[in-house]
Each structure stands twice: as C-alpha cells, then as structure tokens.
Structure 1
C-alpha cells in the first residue's frame, strides 16, 4: 500500500498528517461523502483525481478522467441530479470549457451537492495565462470559497458540500498553485461513508416545463429571480460556517486594516509574527469572496482610514470593496493592486507582502540577509541560460525533426505551423522552432483552418497531442473536411497525457481507476471525420517518417499523420520495473568532427559538447537509447 493511499484512506479522526493541498481536497471529498469525481488532467489540479483514484474502489467512489472538462462537469451534474454528491476538478483554464453547461446549471437546481474545484495558476507556472476564476464565478452567480492552507482545503470541501445542498447551487472552491502544491498539516475528520440510493431530481421539469403558467421565455426571468434569492442567503450561511475571521488590532495601527483571502493570508500571518505585530493590526480574512460579504466587510471598514487589500490574482476583492466603501466609508483610502502597492501580474510572495504592508505602516521593509545576496550573485554567474526543452528520447522531438526535413526536401522552407497544449508545445523553442504560435486546447486544428482559408499560399500544419485530440481536436478536424481546408495535421501519439503526470486517456485502454476499457483509436476517428489520407509512423524510424510527411504535404486535401511512439519517460519506467537493460548511444570521437549538427539542429539534452576537445558527447545517465541521433549525425559518429 502506497504512502498516499494509506494517509488519504486512514480512518483516524483527530490524527495530524502532512498533505498536499490537492491531497487535502481529496481527503475532504472522502469525508464529505462525494460519490462521483471527474476531471481532465491539468496542472496544478491533477493530483486531486490521481489521489482519489488510488482509493476509489475501497470507498465506492466513481472517479474518472473525462475526455475534457466540459464532459467532467456534466458527469458531475448527472451525479448531482441523481442525489449523488459530485465534484468536478480542473485547472483554471479548464474551467473555460464548462461555462456553457454551468450557465444553465445555476438555473436548474440539484438533488445533491455539486462542487467545482478550480486550481488557478498565478504566474502561469504551467499555464498559458493567469486568469482569475472568481470572475467566472461572478458571471455564473455561484458561491466561491477560498482556502488559505491545506487544512482549509479539506474543510472547505465539506463546507462547500453543505452550502451547495442548502441553496441547490454549484459551489466553486478556488485553489491556487501554492496551496495545491504545498504540504501542510491536516487534522483528519470522520469517514462516515454513506451511499445514497439514486433518485433523479425533476423539480425543474415539473416547475418550468409542465407548468402552463410559466413556460418558454417567461421561465427564464423567474429562474433568474430564484437564483438571486439563493445568493442573498449565502453570507449568513457562510457566517454560520465561520468563513470570516477577524483579528482586532489595537494601538498605533487601529485605523489601518488588511483584507485578504487565499494563500496571501498565510504570508500575512508570517509577516505579523516575524515583525512582532500580533494584536497590533486589524486583519479580515475572507473564506467566501463571492457573493461578496457586504455586511461583514462594511462592519470591518466602518472606522478605518486605510485598508490594504492583499489577494492572489486580479483585484476582485479590491473592486468590490470600492463599491461598498462608497456607501459605508467614503473617505476610506483603499490600497492594493490598483494603487500599485502590489503587482497585478505574477504571484505573491513574502517579500512582496513585506514591502506592501511595511509601506502602509511606515516601516522599513526587511532586507534580504547578506549571505543570501552573496549566494545569489555567485549562482547567477555560473548558471547557463537555457530554453525549455523536451526530455531525452522524446518521440515528439523526432517527429518535428522529420517534419522539418520533409519540408526541406520538398523545397518548402516557408510554412505555418500552429501548435497546441502539451509536452509537444516545447517544439516552439530552440533548436527545433517548428511552430510559430500556440493557443488553447484543440486550437491548433481550428486555427489552421482559418490560416488556410486566408489563402496564405504556404503549407499549413497543425500539431496536436493524443490526449488533446480527444479533448478538443475532433470538431475542428471535421470542419477541415466540411469546409475543404487543405491542412496537414500532425497527431503526436505517445499513449499518455504526459505533461500533467502520465494520466490515461481514451486511447490507452485504462481508466483513472486502472480498470480495463475499450481503446478508442485515433485513426478510426480521423477516418470517421472524413479524412482520406491518414499515415501512421514511428517517429524513431526517421526515413519512414520523412517519406510519410512528404506524402501528406503533397496530398491535395486535409490529411493526418500520426506519429506513434510511447513516451520516453514511461518507457524508461517500464524498463526499470521489468529489469530490462537500456542500450545507450555513444559518440566515436575519431569520427566526430565537432560540426554540432546533433546539438544545433536536433537538441537532445543527453548530447553535450566538450569545448576543450571540440567534440560532442552523450551523457549516459540521460540517454534513453532511442537512437534517433544516429540518423541525425552526418558523419556516422554516433553508435550504440
């Protein structure tokens, strides 16, 4: 039994354990009797389902990786409609996919709890943007809870379930990267698992479909009115669950306050402790930020002269505070992101908060220790600047190399390639530089459609991964057939959802819970989409890959090439488990003339260059023995 499985499944109320924020969410789901949990892999949210999947069978929970976030949310809706407490988790950008279903769901009501776990990613550590999903919740008119640590992550799942069932609305729990991926002490609660008998909730059907007095367009304003009445109850419900915590400062700073939420609260508490300001600063912590708790905030700011708002993401609290202060305390000076006391971009940290609070309190910010500055100066001098890159032996690198060579052989140096979201996105960077742009999930094929229709006059290529193709690539491929877009689609199939942690997808034959299931084949989908030219190649076989790429480039219509080879890291793991010995590559120094073709054109991180001897070398600790570099070397200097 693994460590994670042991801890998450432990039935020992009161015991303190160390959990990731995402693991704490999973534990909260267990303690809350969640029976259906669905998601699509996306950092920083992936570990929620990864963790639940470990113990799902033991607790009678249905846990799944869905084809995309929209489907995951709809699976959760279906569960909630049948009286099963349900949860859909996703990264912040993934929540964009659920908006259509969400905007309908808020009008319907449910027979059980429906939670949305949104893992926002300030600074975009593993994301294309920094969107703040409190604004999405504001648009959808649903409650938002913001835990500030791992303990609250667990507890807020339980509270979210209670609120959701009381007002019959979806509830969003907004996590951020530093809570998702930080460990904290969590006190375990009770595991009183009770499986409910499913019963379909049909009040919406009875009230708004069969009711002759409210039918058609007339039903919409009525449903909207009901939604607003539900929201009016939320603040009082939140007070009952103690989602607002206030520290009353006295003395010199009694007319200055701080309002905060999420992980920023932890930084503030560290600051107060470190600067010995306990009991001297007024602090209001908001566990609920939408609907904005007007009464709680109004009471807090009533006698203040200044308020510093510290929040992760956009100035959501700050903007809401301005509206309230106009009535409650018009002379209140509101400081925060909009006054440049805190940056609007990137994530917060202790240093940023130290500077902001110290400025407001007229204190000197804490200077970094001299030893730290000396260390950073030394390190900055010896660190080699380097770009993002794919792993050694990554089949995607081989696919891009073959595609570029095919274009050169066809004398088509000018082309436009649109990338997608996944490990293969790294093909944008040196030395491959294959794609010119990358957008959201599935965007490569749809955008390639438009680029072709602009009559740009050069080959138009879309690159997309296997999991992303299942997620969002299929409608755009149908569109290419339907509207005669002569685009070439490279589907990079490595049998796994790689970048987020090697999760299964519909083509792997395994579910999130490790159960055998039918494989949905990409080539059969492409054929059903009307694609007449489909090539399947192993990217490690460079000659076959180049010839196949030339064929699809010459084909007069939309065409697909599937580069199929298992992820190098997964293959390496399988070899370790089985005891198989990997035969590594090496460079014959007598044949190597130091041309750097293997580095400048191919860029495998296992290949280095000895500046003293002016020869390339292969790091045997990094090499996975794929052998593609053997083909790349023009001097036959690489062997195995």
Structure 2
C-alpha cells in the first residue's frame, strides 16, 4: 500500500496515517488541501474543522481522543508536513490544553480539542490560563455528545465560556464550524482572549457542502508579552479579571455584526424565536415547511457574549419569545436576565416552562410541536409520523457494544472469569469487577463482568474507596485500558500503594485508543504524525509505584493468562497487577495490510 495518496489538487497526503485510524479511507478527506476559494466540497463536520484550522493558520493542534469530534487531528496529521503543523495526541486533556496554551501565549495560533467530559479534566489549567490571555489566537473545541450516544454523560460546555470569560461559538453545521474556527482565531488574536467552539455529534458526524476559503501564505512570529505568563498576587489577578470583562465588552459590539448572528424580522411579527446551533436547523425547517410568516427568528452563532443589540431589537417587537436550544437552558436564562435588566415585558418560554426538554437530541417533530403549542397554530404534521419512522429505522439497526472479533480484551476477561471460578471467587457475591471507560468497559458489559463503572481513569480509585469503606469480603478487580491508565490511572495506583490497599489491577493494553478510532497512546511507540518514539512500560510503572505483584502476559495465550490471574488472586493482601498486552485486532489487520502481508 502506498505511503502517500494524491488529493484532488495533486497534493500529497499521508494516507498511511489515515489508514491507521477509524477514517481508514483517504478518499474521505479529498479536497482538504485545495487552495480554491469559493469552491464547494462535501465534507463532514470533522473534515470542515480541519479545513478551518488550515485556513485560520493554526500551527499547533493538540487533543485527547474522545467522540464525537476526534477525527480532525488525524486528518491534520496527514497533511502536517505540508502546512508546517505540529499535531499531538496527548496523554490527557490537561496536558493537551497546556501544550496548545503555551504555543498561543508564545504568539502562535493554536487549537486544543476534547470532548465535553474532557473539558472538566482541563478546566483547572483553563481557568488560570484565561486570566493571562493569548498572544496568538487560540480556539478550544468542546465536543458535546447530545443524546449520550458514545459517552457516559451529556454535559453542556457553554458554561465554561461564562466561567472563564471566553468567547463562545455554536455552529449549526460543517460550513459554520469551518468559518467559526477561522473567525475565532482572528478574534482571539485581536482581543487576546481564547474562543470556545462547541461541536455536537450532529455537527461533527453530518456531511454537507462546504465552501472553501483561502489558505494563508504564511504567518509572522509574534513576540510574546511577559504579562501572559505571570498571574501572581491578588492585585494582578483582579486587574486581569477586569481586563477580561473589558475585552468581552469589545466582543459584545463585534457580536452584533458577526454573520453567524442573524435576525430575520420584517417588523410585523407576533411571535419570536431565539435559537442556536443544531437546534436552529429544525426551527428553520419547521418555519419553511409550514410557511410560518408571523414568527421572527434570531439565530445565534455566538452565545457568549450575546449580540445584545439584536436581542433588544427582537424583544422590542414581540411580546412572546420561545428559546429553542439543545441541552441546558443556557440561552434561555441569559434572555430572561436581559429582559429583566432592560425592563422588557416579554414572556420567555423554553425548557424552564416545560415547552422543550433539557436532555437528548431534538427532532423536526419535537420542535414543530413546541412551536405549535407556543403560537397556537394548528400545524398539519405528516400523516406518516417521522418520529415513529425514525424509531423503526433505529430499531432495525442493532445497538451493540460487543467486542470486535479477535479483541484481546475478550480473551483477558475470559481468563479473569475462569481464574475467579478456579479460586472460588466466581459468584456474584464473591467478586466486584470495576471496568474503566473505553474498550475495557464495553467488553466487560458484553461478558457480564461489570459491577460498577464511572469516568475515564476512575476504576482504581473506586477500588481504593471500596476497601476504605470496609468492603473486605470480596475480590475487587479494577480493569483499565492502556490509554485510560495513562490518562488518569497512575495517580490512583500510587494512592493504592501509599495507603496499602488490597486489590488487583488488570491493565488491558491494546496499544492504542481503539474505542475512539485507534489513535496512538504513549505505549504504542508512535506519535500522531507517525514518528517512531519511546514506549511506556506498564510493568516498570507498577514497580516504580512499589506494587507487590506484577506480571505481563499475552491474552492470546489463554492458559498463561489465566495462570497469572490465579496467582495474583491467590496472593493474600497487597497490590497486584496483571498487564495483559496484545495489539488491537483491527490495528494488527491494518498493519499487515500496510506491510503487504497476507491476512
């Protein structure tokens, strides 16, 4: 298989890097390098994000893998050499953010990306960083899984924009995602404050035509301002907080002129709708489908700060407003506050009044019913209920988290189950298995071996807590993947040894972030850009933490794996670890194809 492939323009992209990941087809990113302003190309949201970072002149892009937006770094890694980019899959979101933040403070344009839950991991650093601001531009991408399709939570990241005084953008589709990144980098560099871009699964996974903009010819290196780095003392901190609010005040004026904020109003409308992001698509669809001419619509692309002049104009015209937004009533609460402070006698309806739900994805039918109730119009919904049709389609598609054929985790769990039975710990009341997030979790659930599960990297600490809570009559086993262990499992392991916790840890090392698209981990020996590098040794980490029993096995050798687990379980007290290490079956298959080996 060729190492490189040709883009539509004849430019070279690194196809091997794409083939290693869930993208596994360079054709999906054709056109990413084209310098053809005005041309329209079908793109997914992830590809559009990558294109926006190229058009915006980003020079450092970091992330930790997490759906629903975890493909754009892989795409950029494949063209990094051509554009002078540095792309990194970091060990966790905190590290990823800090690497990108250092670049932004040094004068480069950078991007940090993570999923909604990952923003919590990086939040400590984001808070301190935001006080100093940036010298170059910085966009932070917060990928939110509306509906919790591939996550253990459904978290509204817009609150971070308010908490940390960030500019906040919420695109309705791939075109806006690309354009907002370009605008966000410009605004960030101009105002010296970061921009938060919300990406939902509906934006990241959908496809639509995207009009290309120009690619930059080059960027000057800016001189960093030392004030960006020093945030010590109350006086300096308070001064920077006042500066943040001053810069947001400037942005408040700019927001009224942004093309992402649009007010569609003739002046004789009776009702008003304020909507943002993916929800705005359903509002527009309903309005067009039923010819609703008596509704003025304010579509917001910038949620922090609000374009107050446009909001004022709408609230001065109508007496009733329905706020249509996904997730929490973030915009709704802001509108209520604005109406109260500006003394507007406007009835604001939305989630808090029970008109719309505060969880799950929105649909055409859901929004149409809400508008029908709000306006009193009798809308003639289609005879064949689209909601029921969608449900029938979804029901036809099996939803499964079963491990893939050849998954080494399946073998690890089988060996663990047999070892527990062999040592008399096979009953439900005899053991407590705590799988961590990722493939180790889905495999455990499929094999009925999951007693508890929380967030990424938490399994070892939960085991510690159970022991400290007096659970002494069960064999407690924490199973954790290689990426999860490096992300957040090392510190709990040190806590485990420091406080003498009796327990067993099984590290399921499949050499990559398989659950999110086979992005490399520190144990894989390769970087995002395909550079060979050092590999982390889990057994050495365990020994450095003074774990009492450590053994590394290959789960494909079932007899040896089961024997190692029996030995670990049979040890009386202390910390025990089995490292079950085998390359992901999908990665192995791809590697053999790349090596032109017979499969």
Fold-level similarity (TM above 0.5): yes
User: How do 1:209-224 and structure 2 match up within 5 A?
Assistant: 216-224=233-241
- Partner deviation per Cα, 1:185-223 (whole Å, 9 max, x = no partner): 1111111231433644312467x66xxxxxx33322222
Structure 1 residues 173 and 482 mapped into 2: Cα distance closer, same or farther (>3 Å)?
same
The answer to whether the Cα contact below 8 Å between 2:256 and 2:309 also exists between their aligned partners in 1 is no
User: How do 1:591-610 and structure 2 match up within 5 A?
Assistant: none
Range 321-330 or range 466-475, more displaced:
321-330
Which residue of the partner structure matches residue 81 of structure 1? 105
Which residue of the partner structure matches residue 30 of structure 1? 54
Which residue of the partner structure matches residue 268 of structure 1? 283
Counting matched residue pairs gives 570
Runs of 4+ in 1 over 6 A off after TM superposition: 371-380
Which residue of the partner structure matches residue 493 of structure 2? 477
Determine whether 1:533 maps to 2:529. no
The answer to whether the Cα contact below 8 Å between 1:48 and 1:89 also exists between their aligned partners in 2 is no
User: How do 1:69-218 and structure 2 match up within 5 A?
Assistant: 69-197=93-221, 199-204=223-228, 216-218=233-235
Which residue of the partner structure matches residue 390 of structure 1? 403
Which residue of the partner structure matches residue 357 of structure 1? 371
Corresponding residue to 1:407 among 412, 420, 425: 420
- The SS at the match of 1:313 is coil
Structure 1 residues 452 and 108 mapped into 2: Cα distance closer, same or farther (>3 Å)?
same
- Pair member with larger Rg: 1
The answer to whether the Cα contact below 8 Å between 2:433 and 2:451 also exists between their aligned partners in 1 is yes
Structure 1 residues 383 and 105 mapped into 2: Cα distance closer, same or farther (>3 Å)?
closer
Determine whether 1:508 maps to 2:524. yes
Determine whether 1:443 maps to 2:458. yes
Q: How far did residue 95 of structure 1 move?
A: 0.7
The answer to whether the Cα contact below 8 Å between 2:263 and 2:310 also exists between their aligned partners in 1 is no
Which residue of the partner structure matches residue 331 of structure 1? 345
Which residue of the partner structure matches residue 567 of structure 1? 584
Q: How far did residue 571 of structure 1 move?
A: 2.6
Which residue of the partner structure matches residue 319 of structure 1? 333
Which residue of the partner structure matches residue 305 of structure 1? 319
Structure 1 residues 515 and 575 mapped into 2: Cα distance closer, same or farther (>3 Å)?
closer
Q: How far did residue 120 of structure 1 move?
A: 0.8
- Partner deviation per Cα, 1:289-317 (whole Å, 9 max, x = no partner): 11233333122112312111000111101
**What is the root-mean-square deviation in Å for CA atoms of aligned residues?**
2.2
The answer to whether the Cα contact below 8 Å between 2:138 and 2:194 also exists between their aligned partners in 1 is yes
The answer to whether the Cα contact below 8 Å between 2:401 and 2:443 also exists between their aligned partners in 1 is no
Structure 1 residues 375 and 104 mapped into 2: Cα distance closer, same or farther (>3 Å)?
closer
Q: How far did residue 419 of structure 1 move?
A: 1.7
Structure 1 residues 446 and 377 mapped into 2: Cα distance closer, same or farther (>3 Å)?
closer
User: How do 1:7-46 and structure 2 match up within 5 A?
Assistant: 7-46=31-70
The answer to whether the Cα contact below 8 Å between 1:419 and 1:438 also exists between their aligned partners in 2 is yes
The answer to whether the Cα contact below 8 Å between 1:449 and 1:485 also exists between their aligned partners in 2 is yes
Range 8-17 or range 223-232, more displaced:
223-232
- The SS at the match of 1:438 is coil
Q: How far did residue 581 of structure 1 move?
A: 5.7
- Partner deviation per Cα, 1:139-170 (whole Å, 9 max, x = no partner): 11211011111111111011111221122111
Which residue of the partner structure matches residue 294 of structure 1? 308
The answer to whether the Cα contact below 8 Å between 1:138 and 1:290 also exists between their aligned partners in 2 is yes
Structure 1 residues 371 and 98 mapped into 2: Cα distance closer, same or farther (>3 Å)?
closer
Corresponding residue to 1:557 among 549, 574, 579: 574
Higher relative contact order (CA 8 A, sep 6+): 2
